[in-house]
Amino acid sequence: MNDIAHGIRIRPGGPADVPAVLDMLDAAVAWMNARGNTEQWGTIPYSQIPGGVERVQGYTTENFPYLAELDGVPVGALVLDTGPSPKMPMIPPAGEPERYVRLLVSDRRYAGLGVGSALLARAVEETRRAGVELLRVDCWAGGTGELVAYYERNGFTRTDPFLSGTWPGQVLAQRV
C-alpha cells in the first residue's frame, strides 16, 4: 500500500514492530551523539531509558503507527495521535480536531531517500482521511534549528515555541 519514491512502502504498524522502532531510535541517539548533539534525545539509548520500551509499545497499541519499508526492511516509523502528549502540558490541544505527529524516526543508513518526507505525506493523507483539517507536530528547536527547518520544508508552519525545562521546543502546524 502506498508505494512512494525510491520504492518505499508505508504500512500500518503494530506491536510486532516494537523491536524495529527501538533499533531506529537507539541508532538515532547514537548518530546525534556522534555529531555532538547530546541535548535533543540525551546520551542513553532509547531502549534503555526508563519507560522507553513501554512508550514505544503504547505507540503501537494506543496510537496510529506506520512503518516505512524498503525491500521489506523497516527504514522509518511514524506515530499519529489525536493530540499532543499529556506528558507535555506546555502544549495545549488545538481546540479543534487534529492529528498530531508523536514520533517520526528514520534509519540513518537510508538518509537522503525521503523516508521522513514520505511518512509525513502519509500523515497528511491519514489526517484528510479522518476528516480532520489540522496536523501538528512538536520538535527540538535547539542547535542550528535544522529540525524545525526540516518540518517547514515538509509543509509545516511554526506556531508556538515552548520550553520543557531547559529543552527548547517548537510546535508546527499544517492545514490539510
pLDDT in tens, 143-167: 999 999 999 999 999 999 999 999 9
pTM: 0.93
Is 73 in contact with 52 (CB distance < 8 Å)? no
pLDDT tens profile 78-135: 999 999 998 888 999 999 999 999 999 999 999 889 999 999 999 999 999 999 999 9
CB-side exposure of 96: number of CA atoms within 13 Å? 9
Confidence of residue 3 (pLDDT cuts 50, 70, 90): very low
Is the model more confident about 40 or about 124? 124
pLDDT at 157: 98
Residue 130: which region, alpha, beta or left (left: phi > 0; alpha: psi -120 to 50)?
A: alpha
Q: Whole-angstrom Cα distance, residue 61 to residue 133? A: 24
d(CA 22, CA 57): 10
